[in-house]
Amino acid sequence: MENVSVKFLPLFVLGLALVVSLSVGMISRRQARSGYGVQFQSIGHASIGAAIASNWMSAASFLGIAGVFFVKGYFAFAYVLGWTGGYVLLLVLMGSQLRRFGKYTASDFVEARYESSLARVFSAIIAILITLIYCVAQYKGIGLIFGWIFGIDYTQSLVLGVVITIGYLVVAGAMGATRNQQMHYLVLIVSFVVPLAFISNKLGYGMSLPQFTYGRALLDLPPDTARDYLFPWTFGTAYEWIALSFTLMVGTAGLPHVLSRFYTVPNNRDARWGVVWGLFFIGLLYWSAPAFGAFAKVWQVRSGMELDAQSAYQLADLVVVKIAEWTGIPEILLSIIAVGGILAAMSTITGLLITGAGAFAYDIYYRLINPKATEQHLLQVAKAATLVLAGVILLVALNPPGLIAQITAIAFALAGNTLFPVFLLGIWWDRANKQGALAGMLIGTLITFSPLLFGNLIPGLRTILPPTSSALIGAPVVILSIIIVSLMTPPPPEALRRFLVEKVHSP
């Protein structure tokens, strides 16, 4: 035990952040009840945008992109492009129409549009799988930072982090605290951007706009290293780059928790304009993330730190915290960046676990196992499902299969190969029917998992279908399958097609 060295200031800041978060959550709830909430919600499009960004920002954005940049340089921009461009697809192809359709969850939409309980169950299973994969990446982030704070190994810190997260979820649930999305965004972005300015200053590149000046830092690297980091295809081919960014885009447009953001806004026009602000707020993070990776690389070269590829990978997901520690910025800033990473991961985990457990209780248990279950019984099932899900994720996260951003990308591939085509054709093609949707979701799931399951057996499979990037081929194949199967089977009823024309596609 004598080797364990706890960092007390980050621990104190974390405790403070959780207490403040709970208190603000209580106040937000009380204001919403007394009517002040309505006034607060109508602050405007910027406020909606902040909520979109807050809902979006996870450990993948906060820790992951900088990590990929640290090991793969320019290649990391595929993540930046993918995780912003997806909102363009969502806004342009589906946002307004999904809202006019009037269903609140992915499963609700699938059942209503395709008139099939089986399709609903299938989409719920997919939503739960997405939750599982997405949360594994968040758990890894929590495990790494808790390990850093407490000076303990990854397995211990992961268990500790998960216990604290679930504990927080239970307490917040018992107190009925809701998350104030705008404040959450503000806390995350400040804890990311302010320390970055200090890091830049410590390295001699000034405090102003490190998001743009880090390019100079990269040019100060030895010519060979600079070439590797700045040249486009050092760490991956053009196909891999395009496939990854496309996969992340269609995945964004198909992620259930991103789609449901569209419904919590008072009207359609506000939701659309909220996306513009949301992109700007997400952009603030993505303009900054590569700078962390770049500064960490510069520090590594300057300090003569020797890192082989494997050590660099092990370090990558903690590089945002490590570069703050290496450069010796004030400890309070070091603490808030570490706590920011934990909060980003924790909020994503709690949100996704609740959604995943809800999908199990209401879409699978109620539909398939016990249709006579009461509301109270379903609530208990959901609570039990939360714990089971949390446990399953913990087991997978003990041996994380990749970098945080890479694990998250697999969840995006699944959403892009299954839910995105089903939503897209459900909205834009009246002839798409339940047989087509079922076939599409089945084929999409197979495409997503085939490189993971059969990658070692079939040569070249992972080259054509990289696990993180399978939707460039997968999504069009699934769209085509839905079209073919739908044309071979009877069309949807006239009432549904009329609803599409008169409600979903009318101004």
Site of interaction with other proteins (CB under 8 A): 74, 77, 80-81, 84-85, 87-89, 91-93, 96, 211-212, 215-216, 218-219, 223, 226-227, 230-233, 238, 241-242, 245-246, 249, 269, 272-273, 275-276, 279-280, 282-283, 286-287, 290, 427-431, 494, 497-498, 500-501, 504-507
DSSP state of 268: H
Q: How far is the CB of 61 from other proteins (least distance, A)?
A: 13
Cβ nearer to other proteins, comparing 103 with 377:
103
Cβ nearer to other proteins, comparing 30 with 503:
503
Q: How far is the CB of 88 from other proteins (least distance, A)?
A: 5
Q: How far is the CB of 219 from other proteins (least distance, A)?
A: 6
Cβ nearer to other proteins, comparing 8 with 212:
212
Q: How far is the CB of 112 from other proteins (least distance, A)?
A: 15
* Best CA proximity match to 242, nearest among 85, 91, 130: 85
Cβ nearer to other proteins, comparing 283 with 401:
283
Q: How far is the CB of 58 from other proteins (least distance, A)?
A: 18
Written as six digits, the tokens of 3 are: 């080797």
**Residue 326, Cβ neighbours under 10 Å: how many?**
19
Query: What gap in Å lies between CA 238 and CA 244, rounded to an integer?
Result: 10
Per DSSP, helices labelled H in 231-372 are 238-254, 256-259, 268-302, 309-316, 319-327, 331-358
Cβ nearer to other proteins, comparing 177 with 432:
432
101, 124, 149, 384, 442 from 427: Cα distances, Å = 9, 19, 48, 35, 19
* Best CA proximity match to 340, nearest among 131, 186, 214: 186
Q: How far is the CB of 495 from other proteins (least distance, A)?
A: 10
Written as six digits, the tokens of 322 are: 């490590």
Written as six digits, the tokens of 231 are: 């040249």
Residue found by looking up tokens 């937000």 in the block: 28
Cβ nearer to other proteins, comparing 103 with 431:
431
Q: How far is the CB of 247 from other proteins (least distance, A)?
A: 11
Cβ nearer to other proteins, comparing 4 with 495:
495
> Is 478 in a helix, a strand, or coil?
helix
Q: How far is the CB of 211 from other proteins (least distance, A)?
A: 8
Rounded to the nearest angstrom, the gap between the alpha carbon of residue 350 and the centroid of all alpha carbons in its chain is 12
Written as six digits, the tokens of 30 are: 């009380």
Cβ nearer to other proteins, comparing 37 with 283:
283
Residue type for 497, please?
A: R
Residue type for 25, please?
A: G
Query: What gap in Å lies between CA 39 and CA 266, rounded to an integer?
Result: 12
